[in-house]
Amino acid sequence: LALNRSRRYDDAIVAAEASLALKPGSPEPLRLLAFSRFCLGELAQAELDASAAVDAGPGEYDSWGVRALVRKARGDKTGAAEDLEKVSNIAPSVAAADHIAKLAEAGVGVCGVNEAGPGLVSAMRERLGPGGMVAAGAAGGLLLVSLVGVLYFQTRTPPPKPAAPPPDAEPAEMDGLLAGKYRLSRVVGRGGMGEVWEAVDQSLGRVVAIKNMSAELGALGAQGREFYLKEARTVAALHHPNIIGIYAVLDLPQGLFLVFEFAKGKTVQHLLAEARRLPLAQCANLLRPVCDALDFAHARGVVHRDLKPANIMVTEQGFVKVMDFGIARRIDETVEAPGAAPALKRDARGIMMAHTQTVVGTPAYMAPEAEQGLVTPVSDVFSLGVCLYEMATGRLPYPGDGTTAAKSARQFLKAGVECPGLPQGLDDLLALCLDPDPHTRLPGAKEFSRRLDALVPPRPA
């Protein structure tokens, strides 16, 4: 609940899946999965999780409430009303105004509770009467108070018509098709880099993913748009079996869209949620194709900048794919703010570096220089080291966001201390990868892969 409250929905999913692995079929982690995926816009999977929670605990109003929320978001008003009626039958006072007010005061503010304001509170008081109170319950129950309260408010008080389409509205289409050929079906993901839709390319009959970059580009202006478009086309030129391929870049009046490969499977983040840590041989098998992909990109001057377990996909067919090269930077072109001159240089080993005013990435996995805006291939090597450490031990070397000071001082426990039995060579490799100085860090992904493979005993013939 705390992760959801701080809007760390991906982390909340990992925590819920880990809890589910320990308690299979438990309704509480299923509810949290459903809510986290709802917040990320993964509505179809959220409804499946909520339905599983209902089946696992039909007497728990929380599960019915979450499913009602998801169903309403999917446009199933009848299903949402039926689920709300079930909530009302199980716990008539669950939406007590005092609880909603308490949540608002605590700053929970999920799904519009704070925005609803006094109108929601008065509507609940009117419906429940002066005796409609329940004692403060568990965290999950308090969460559902807000969810169900908002749903009741929305069904009884028609919202005013918005002056403009909401930010998560479906992209404008012509004849039901985006760009005349892509039929959008559902939102499958939403994050800081944009909204992702599952779609069908009608001309080829294949399923694709389409990322709407409009929200991110809104504040950049025309020059920034051209800069970003050029960058997107650079990434689209990366054709490699271990990189999620971009099929097309659509520069349309209603926004910029990336059309890319739609892959089903599990991320390494999900694998860690299920198993907590992975055998070293499996780590090598997963990271070897990642290194191939990075080496390919680096040779073409492209740095990923946000490598982490959540961006490494293992498809249903067993192929490893690196995702989200969409925030990569090309380091032999302009990387400053649009219109600024590039600041390129090479280190003593000839590694190209450049400064950017756009610092992106996930702090726990970012190299110290990346946090300062320095773009270089060896920043991806640092991220590889963090991934390997986490995969082999089940923990991050720098917990939380991992401060720059801690990284610069190498304040992390050796993997062999975290998990006795791991080879000394692994600690040696990690020390080279997590070197805070990019000039003395392990030089590249290919060398990382070679050294990691050397730590794994060969399979018997």
> Which residues, at least 6 apart from 195, have a Cβ–Cβ distance to it below 8 Å?
41, 168, 187, 189, 211, 212, 215
Which H or E run includes 142?
helix 139-156
Residue type, position 444, single letter: G
Dihedral pair phi/psi, residue 46, rounded to 5° = -60, -40
SS3 assignment, position 147: helix
d(CA 278, CA 207): 32
Return the SS3 of 358.
coil
The CA-CA-CA angle for residues 151, 71, 47, to 5°, reads: 125
Residue 451: how many CB atoms within 10 A of its CB?
Answer: 16
> What distance in Å separates the CA atoms of residue 347 and residue 387, rounded to the nearest whole number?
25
Contacts with 126 (C-beta within 8 Å, 6 or more apart), sequence order:
none
The CA angle 170-172-175, to the nearest 5 degrees, is 115
Q: Is there a catalytic annotation at residue 76?
A: no
Write the secondary structure of 8-53 as one string of H (helix), E (strand) and C (coil): CHHHHHHHHHHHHHHCCCCHHHHHHHHHHHHHCCCHHHHHHHHHHH
- Rounded to the nearest 10 degrees, the angle between the axes of helix 27-39 and helix 61-73 is 20
CA distance 35 to 151: 14
Find all residues with CB under 8 Å of 383, minimum gap 6, and list them: 304, 306, 307, 308, 361, 365, 366, 367
DSSP letter assigned to residue 132:
-
Element (H, E) at 266: strand 265-267
Helix axis angle, 61-73 relative to 139-156, nearest 10°? 40
What does the chain come to in residues?
A: 461
Active-site annotation holder among 10, 83, 201, 306? 306
Which of left, alpha, beta for 269 (phi over 0: left; psi -120 to 50: alpha)? Answer: alpha
CA 394 to chain centre: 19
Catalytic residue numbers, as ranges: 306
